[in-house]
Amino acid sequence: MTSNKSMTAATIRQWSRRLFLTAAGGIAIATAVWQPVQAQDAEWEKVVEAGKKEGTLVLYTALVGQPSTKKIAKAFTEEYGISVEVLEARASEIRERVRVEQAAGRFAADVMFTSEGQTRLYDAEDKSIDPLPVTPNSQKIKPQFKLQVPMASVMTIPYGIMINTGLVKPADEPKSWKDLADPKWQGKILADDPRAIGAGYLWFFSTHDRIGEDYLRKVAGQKLVFTRDQRESQRRTARGEYSIYMPVILTDMSDLKGLPVKFIVPEEGVGYVLYGNVLLKKAPHPNAAKLYLDFLQGPTAQKIYASLGYGPVIDGVTEGLPADIKAISEAKLYGTSDSRRQNEMLGKAKEIFK
Amino acid sequence: MTLIHNRSLDDVAETAPTLGGNAVTRAFSGGSIGRLIGMLALIAILGFLTIYPLAMLLYGSLHSTPPGLAGEFNLNGYRAIMTTQNFLVLVNTVGISLAKTVPSLTIAVFLAWIIARTDTPFRGTLEVLITLPFFIPPILTAMAWGMLGNPQVGVINLVWRSISGSQDPLVNVYSYGGVVWHMCQYSIPFLFLFTVDAFRAMDPSLEESSRMCGASRWTTFRKITLLMMLPVLTSSFMLSFIRGIESFESPLFFGLPAGIKVITTDIYEAINHRATPDYQYATALSFAIMGLMFLLVIWQWALLRGKSFQTVTGKGFRPNVMELGPWRWVTFGFCVLFFVITVVLPVGQLLLGSFFRFFGFYTYEMLTLEHYRAVFSNSEFWRALRNTMMLGLLGATATMALGAVVAYVSVRTRWRGRSLIDGMAWLPWMMPGMVLGVGFLWAFAMLPGPIPIYGTVWALLLAYLALGTPVAVRVMTGAYHQLSYDLEECSRVHGANWFQTMWRIMVALAWPAFAVGWVLTFFGIMRELSASILLYSVGSETLAVVLLKLWANGNAEQVSVIGLMMMLLVILFRWVQLRFIKARISKL
């Protein structure tokens, strides 16, 4: 009994010591972690204050005409009191503007909203962007969107298939990218031109890598009709010129409600373009720029994008969305293009789709 | 060749009166130092507007990287364009341009003759109406013709099938024919505007003499009327042909689905659709085309050199209006047919579509005024409209003033260097818009820091001035060619100074051409996108930039609303020009 008691007391002492050591160690670790966090918070607070003092942010965007840009700019201004001046132009135009401005010593813009592929070119060839700052929200994005190139990922634009419901019976609807090679669609597909950078090329690139060249050669035998105007092509298909248009920007679905069309998320998943923000060299408002980068990876901006059908880069922002929007926003990402192989793949596309 | 025996410029130079007056007056009126200063000023202005951006592009074509990046000088760009494929594309492009320019010029001249020289009923109204398509953004008429003439469900083909019972379509706009037709839609009104006033300025006594000598009406038309208009006809032919070579929207919209390639689509791809924009290739190709086009200008100089085309002399005249009798209803019918096909059909689609949620879906439940509300409540649209109106008014006036001076010096003086400025004024027209836009960007951004042009509204204004100068100079050159030197001399001998002579003679008699050039330039500014998108800054958006944003976001119906408003503006401008200004200036 005594020995039992002494054993118990020894055990308790032993545990107490362990508990003490554990607790002490825990406190030490927590203190060690907390101090830098506290320091980081303080550092970020300084960025916030400095950004507010700067008062303005100049944003260049290659995504022309998107209402989301204004919505997010407004939300950002409400959050920080910083006004956002937006200049929109197409990707090649905005890239040349930035390059020439910087070459001439005119550093007019702070942030540019562009694609991952363009960012690689900005970084490697033009040397016009700065490394990304670490911001509170940049730690919270999904791992697949943490990139090697200095772009703060914001959202994905999903591409799928559109059909005219008056011309395609429900039983015949294509369900996957592979279905487009079915001979019954010969002469009935309007396609974005895969021989030039754009949505068609994105489809070509992703299916080439995932399904294979044979598939593309089969589709080439379908006598596709090519176009380079995405929105007008959607209308042409809706009016009955063609049964299928592909690849379609799935987020356009809500703009075409009321027309005899259906947007299909292919079984394999959607082709996508990843968009994000880059910090331009010698930005005149560097702190406001950091705040903007952070804001677009935070829940407010992410919810705005998800509500429009774009794929968010953080979890937990698609709850409560209408089912059709949610399906697009959460669609499995199938493939994208890689600007490092652009010339090779464009050459291949020109060879297959003569 | 029939020549008119007015006194030639060679005679005039010997007898031109020497005037006193201030330095500016002397600069334009003959003093050798003043003349030199005047000429140098013109060369400096045109050099900055045309040579400087082109020099930047030439650098781009000869350097492995664009300005601002390290690289080396080489001829790789020019080597890369020398391919059989490019040669075939060039032949194709020239073929398409000729296929649209020749019928366009024929129809335009016929329409101009009907309006200016016959008693066709309602010709005043028709004059305004048949030019309307020119002022609508090409993407809108392309969309409208796509809806009308697609082989599957195009309205024309649906009607054709229901009438004929045929399964085959009557028309297919996605073809060579479609490309040419869509280009004609713009070149016919453009050429018409260019030629109609030259017909009005024709002294009927020349034609009467021909008829008196026994020539038939057709021979007179061919050998007198058309020949007297040679400067205008050759200028307008060249402007239209070169623009055809550089045309982009029509081949992209209607040609691409049919596999039709032209030079501009190749240039567009080199800039926009390669991993890294290949400016060296794009600029080299543009300069090669420019070289070929310049041969045309030299041809025109050779053709017009040493000949006189004066039809407006000191002797009073009224342009002869031919009485066609019952045939006037045939000419009226032709104009109405042209109006219906080129205006009513496409514009009708745009007008109808603007009242429905979606183009082409004309059901009761789709009826809406939403697009008008969206446009009217769009603050960015109003800002862009203000900017564009300001740039248009200033830009068109400045461009026409510059064009008038350049044309005057080049046509009506013997100043050394006049051919140089005439050639310089042609240059911007020969460079595809999308490449020239890049030239302006490089030129203005690379100016030394203290020169505050880049990033301001001045960059846009200067670019518009450069872009509009070729048309301004051609319009005024055509008009000045027709004015007799006797008129100027007479004014100056009677004591008028140079400015009075310019105002009372050169402006008052050439005002119709000036007004037409002004309208062309103004609406050119309203539609210009290639340079605007590269030069606008936050707050200085132009209408074309706003239209691009709306179009890119799928708001075709709102773009149509704005297009229709632009058309109303044209009607207003033309009405003011034809009714109000005409009455006032004729009294000068």
Find tokens 């299916």 and name the residue. Answer: A207
Task: Determine, yes or no, domain membership for A133.
Answer: no
Q: What is the mean pLDDT of residues B526-553?
A: 89
Instruction: Please list every residue in chain A whose beta carbon sits closer than 8 Å to the beta carbon of residue B529.
Output: none
Q: Which of A239, A254, A285, A344 to mutate to test the interface with B (most CBs of B within 10 A)?
A: A239
CA distance B10 to B128: 39
Domain range holding A187? Answer: 156-272+335-352
DSSP state of B166: -
Closest chain B residue to A105 measured between Cα atoms? B449
Task: Determine, yes or no, domain membership for A313.
Answer: no
Task: Determine, yes or no, domain membership for B142.
Answer: yes
Task: Determine, yes or no, domain membership for B468.
Answer: yes
Report ipTM for this prediction.
0.81
Task: Determine, yes or no, domain membership for B206.
Answer: yes
Asked if A97 reaches chain B (Cβ–Cβ under 8 Å), the answer is yes
Partner-chain residue, chosen from B253, B274, B357, that has the shortest CB–CB distance to A258: B357
Q: Which of B252, B280, B538 to mutate to test the interface with A (most CBs of A within 10 A)?
A: B538
A296-to-A15, A105, A109, A303, B248 alpha-carbon distances in Å:
49, 28, 17, 10, 37
Q: Which of residues 431-450 of B touch A (CB under 8 A)?
A: 438, 441-442, 445-447, 449
Is A175 a residue whose pLDDT tops 70?
A: yes
| CATH number of the CATH domain containing A240 | 3.40.190.10
Predicted local distance difference test score (pLDDT) of residue B214: 78
Q: Which of A127, A197, A228 to mutate to test the interface with B (most CBs of B within 10 A)?
A: A228
Asked if A220 reaches chain B (Cβ–Cβ under 8 Å), the answer is no
Contact flag B147-A339 (C-beta cutoff 8 Å): no
Give the tens place of pLDDT for each residue, B154-182: 889 989 999 998 888 999 999 999 999 99
pTM over 0.90: no
Partner-chain residue, chosen from A66, A92, A225, that has the shortest CB–CB distance to B271: A92
Band of residue A320 on the pLDDT scale cut at 50, 70, 90: very high
Q: Which of residues 189-208 of A touch B (CB under 8 A)?
A: 193, 196-198
Closest chain A residue to B455 measured between Cα atoms? A108
Contact flag A64-B449 (C-beta cutoff 8 Å): no
Band of residue A16 on the pLDDT scale cut at 50, 70, 90: low
Asked if B454 reaches chain A (Cβ–Cβ under 8 Å), the answer is yes
Predicted local distance difference test score (pLDDT) of residue B139: 84
Is B14 a residue whose pLDDT tops 50?
A: no
Asked if B552 reaches chain A (Cβ–Cβ under 8 Å), the answer is yes
Stronger pLDDT, B403 or A8, i.e. the higher one: B403
Stronger pLDDT, B54 or B318, i.e. the higher one: B54
Give the gap in angstroms from C-alpha A62 to the nearest C-alpha of chain B. Answer: 11
Q: What is the mean pLDDT of residues B512-519?
A: 86
| CATH number of the CATH domain containing B322 | 1.10.3720.10
Mean pLDDT is highest, among A118-127, A216-225, B13-22, for: A216-225
CA distance B85 to B77: 15
- Range name among A70-74, B205-209, B384-388 with the lowest pLDDT average: B205-209
DSSP state of A211: T
- Range name among B4-13, B371-380, B489-498 with the lowest pLDDT average: B4-13
Q: Report how many Cβ contacts below 8 Å link chain A to chain B.
A: 136
CA distance B202 to B312: 7
Q: What is the mean pLDDT of residues A328-352?
A: 92
Is B16 a residue whose pLDDT tops 70?
A: no
- Range name among A210-219, B116-125, B228-237 with the lowest pLDDT average: B228-237
The tokens describing A55, both together, are 């008062």
Give the tens place of pLDDT for each residue, B410-467: 888 888 888 899 889 989 988 988 899 999 999 999 998 777 889 889 999 999 999 9
Task: Determine, yes or no, domain membership for B2.
Answer: no
High-pLDDT (> 70) share of chain B, %: 90
| Of A233, A226, A244, A240, the residue nearest A184 (C-alpha) | A244
Contact flag A103-B67 (C-beta cutoff 8 Å): yes
Handedness of CA B22, B26, B28, B34 (dihedral sign): negative
Instruction: Please list every residue in chain B whose beta carbon sits closer than 8 Å to the beta carbon of residue A126.
Output: 69
| Mean pLDDT of the residues in chain A | 90
Predicted local distance difference test score (pLDDT) of residue A112: 96
Q: What is the mean pLDDT of residues A91-114?
A: 92
Domain range holding B47? Answer: 9-585
The tokens describing A87, both together, are 């200049």
* DSSP letters for B332-372: HHHHHHHHIIIIIHHHHHHHHHTTBSSTT---GGGB--HHH
When divided into structural domains, chain B yields a total of 1
| Mean pLDDT of the residues in chain B | 84
Contact flag B257-A96 (C-beta cutoff 8 Å): no
Predicted local distance difference test score (pLDDT) of residue B459: 94
Task: Determine, yes or no, domain membership for B341.
Answer: yes
Band of residue B211 on the pLDDT scale cut at 50, 70, 90: confident
- Range name among A76-80, B6-10, B584-588 with the lowest pLDDT average: B6-10
Task: Determine, yes or no, domain membership for B426.
Answer: yes
Task: Determine, yes or no, domain membership for B3.
Answer: no
Stronger pLDDT, B395 or B261, i.e. the higher one: B395
Give the tens place of pLDDT for each residue, B80-103: 999 998 899 999 999 999 999 999
CB atoms within 10 A of CB A130: 15
Predicted local distance difference test score (pLDDT) of residue B15: 41
When divided into structural domains, chain A yields a total of 1
